[in-house]
Structure 1
Amino acid sequence: MKVCDVMTRTVDWVGPKTTVSEVSRLMKKDDVGSIPICDNNKVIGMITDRDIVLNVIAVGKDYNTAVVQDVMSKNVVSVSSNQDVHEAADLMSQYQIRRLPVVDQDRLVGIVAIGDLAIEKIHVNEAGDALSDISQGAHQNLN
């Protein structure tokens, strides 16, 4: 099964000069914890609710003036729509991330989340293993 079979095709994204308060409202509207940052639909970063808490709120920055390019994760791991879902699960586990932007020819075409992989019964164990690896990594970071 390919990533394109399980990915979400409609994905909101923002530009690098978007304020943290604007992207936070978009996260709330979409009920998501991460948003791709794009320059002309080319993914240049990702911002998560965790990025906002650790890199804006916890250090006392003004979320109304802080821009996402200053707090986003720049080393984005992505997949293509024609990659196998097993490869996506492996990447999630390896990099301890729950969502991957789907990029074809340098353009954002969707996003695949750990939950998308768990929907397919065939991949429940693999998605569970990836989530377990991600959770263990987060727990180890707390120690």
Structure 2
Amino acid sequence: MTKKVVTCQQDDNSYEAAVKMRDADIGAIPVVNGDQLVGIVTDRDLVLRGIAEKKPNSQEVGSIMTKEVLTAEEDATLEEIVRLMSEHQLRRIPVVKNGALTGIVALGDLSVEDLSNDRAGDALTEISQQDQDHGQGFLH
């Protein structure tokens, strides 16, 4: 799990979110209110709900973010997280404790982990294949 997570606030503008994504070389940023996770904004959200809708770069992240985000609890096992990611074809999943963002697990984190069971490897293949077929998602 990545514990140092780049975040946005709902009132940050889409330009700021895009710059954070570029600078951190990431495709999604959790949106928080204080430490509470309230959504996630992806590069796909920026394109489909921002640029394609002809919204200005000053558009607030809160208006284009994905609001319903599937999360994993901080005490979840690696197998539980892999199962969630596989079942919902997610490339990344925010990790929370009592609703507060504590980290994020991404496919890249799983690929470097010592995944000794076939289920985890199969899940990675399944998630990656889904991405190629349909794009990436966060909606639950």
Deviation at 1:94, TM superposition (A): 1.3
Aligned match of 1:4: none
1:8-28 superposed Cα distances (whole Å, 9 cap, x missing partner): 111121111110000111111
Aligned match of 2:111: 118
Structure 2: which 5+ runs fail to align?
A: 136-140
Deviation at 1:35, TM superposition (A): 0.2
- After the TM superposition, list the runs of 4 or more consecutive aligned residues in structure 1 that deviate by more than 6 angstroms: none
Deviation at 1:69, TM superposition (A): 0.9
Amino acid at match of 1:57: I
Deviation at 1:30, TM superposition (A): 1.0
| Pairing 1:79-98 to 2, within 5 Å after superposition | 79-98=72-91
Q: Does 1:66 align with 2:66?
A: no
Inter-CA distance 113–123: structure 2 relative to 1 (3 Å threshold): farther
Aligned match of 2:138: none
In 2, distance between residues paired with 1:88 and 1:134?
A: 12
Amino acid at match of 1:49: D
In 1, distance between residues paired with 2:116 and 2:81?
A: 11
Tell me which protein shows more helix as a share of its residues: 1
Aligned match of 1:43: 37
Aligned match of 1:34: 28
TM-score by length of 2: 0.86
TM-score by length of 1: 0.84
In 2, distance between residues paired with 1:21 and 1:127?
A: 36
Deviation at 1:124, TM superposition (A): 7.8
Number of positions where the alignment pairs a residue of Structure 1 with one of Structure 2: 135
Inter-CA distance 128–44: structure 2 relative to 1 (3 Å threshold): same
Kept after mapping to 2: 8 A contact 1:10/1:110 = yes
**SS of aligned partner of 1:110:** strand
RMSD: 1.9
Aligned match of 1:3: none
Aligned match of 1:21: 15
